[in-house]
Structure 1
Amino acid sequence: MAQDHRHMEELFTRIQRGEKQAFDQLYLRYFDNLKQFAQHYVKREESADELVSELFVQVWLRRGALHEIHNPTRYLYQSVKNGCLTYLKKENRHTRVSLDEVDPANLQVAITASPEQLLEYKELLTLLEEAVDLMPDQRRTVFRMVKEDRLKCREVAELLGLSVRTVENQVYRAVKQLNEVVESYFDAGNANQGRASRFFFLVI
């Protein structure tokens, strides 16, 4: 968590210095997740795309002030949320949103480097990514924000307008769902049970 935060701060520092490569890294890392987040509010993909694109334009144009931002990841999400609410007001839409989503597990696996185990890992990771894609919208979104973007449950709750308990429950259910995928994979004989313990999934 602290390492991710430091990495984001370093990216913002480099962007402030005008490093286009750092800006490109930020864009590739966050665009899809922010777009998905925006779609919970504005519903239309093209509108979400425009709002997130505008945010990145502003980040680059106002890069000289990035040193004032203490939590870059939260800043990105909060900026998108503010943009969405402004958009909804202009469109005279109701701003109350029902959320339920998030994407592939930011799961890490400790395995040996043998070709057979690597193949098993890739097969299992594909199944896990598919399982995340099939999660309810709110669960998938919450899970991605917590596990991929390393936001705290409290921060996610504030951004999505949910209670902390709801966010924690969604993360728990997502993890439980993915654990079931892992168990089913091994129970189906796709890998030797003796090696199952070598797969250590960091889901929290």
Structure 2
Amino acid sequence: MTEKLVFEFVTLFVVLEPFGMLAVFLAVTAGLEAGQRRKAAALAILYAFAVLVFFVVVGELLLIQMGIPLRAFQVAGGLLLLLYGIEMSLGAHAPGTGPSAASHTDSSSSINSLAVYPLAIPSIAGPGAMLTVVLLTDNREHAVIDQLITTAVLGSTLFLFLLILLAASPIMRVIGQGGANVLRRVMGVILSAIAANMILGAFQEWLGLPPL
């Protein structure tokens, strides 16, 4: 049992990539105050957990009934990330990060919108994470109690993820607004490359092409 828990924790931690996400989180929340940034982090983790639990409960049935392959998730998630990466690299304002964000975020849905997209989906609860929780809780191999334990492991992993994101505020104080703007554009290029790789990987598997 211990080995299974460690395996699931490590698998989820690697798939979720919290340290890689930290740079993205810093970039997209550059226009927020420290308290707003913490709120965005908590909401993003909460929404991501809800989405992934949904896939734990009905993900396998959904995939089977709708005939949705992993490639479709890869392409859809890749397109979302590509669009956001282009916005970041060109300096366009992300939801909740524009010039008026500081004055309107708490009284509007800006933080909530930012937490949903692009933080919770597709950055945290992306196609890979969705498929991973479906495989770890396969109804054909795991009993209900095992699935509940896996869900608890998921919750623990996301809690650790939240602690890492909360470290963004002191990092932000060090790099400042200028550093965050530079980071935002650099991460936009990197996100675009990751998105393109996701989309090309899906077509590579579909067409049986050699690795890039």
TM-score under structure 1 length normalisation = 0.29
- Max radius of gyration: which structure? 1
Q: Considering fraction of residues, name the structure with more helix.
A: 2
More relative contact order, 1 or 2 (CA 8 Å, 6+ apart): 2
